[in-house]
Structure 1
Amino acid sequence: MAAAGAALLRSVATKMARAPPRLPSALERHGRLPASSRFSTSTGSTPQPANLRGPQTDLKKVRSGSEWDRVKTAAIEATTTCAFLTVVGGVIVICGWVNPALDRITANLEASNRLDMEIMDEIKRGHQRIREQCGSSKS
Structure 2
Amino acid sequence: MKLLRVFLLLSAMMVFVACSNESEDYSYTGALPIPQNLAYELIKQQLGDKQLKEVDIYVSIDMLSAKTKVVSMGSEDIISPDCDSWLFFVDEMPLIANWGHPCKYIFVDKTGNVFAYERTMFPTEPSMEKMKLLNRADVWDGYDEK
- Could you say which TM-score interval applies, normalised by the shorter chain? under 0.3
Flag the structure with more relative contact order, 1 or 2, with Cα contacts below 8 A and sequence separation at least 6. 2
TM-score of the aligned structures, taking structure 2 as reference length: 0.20
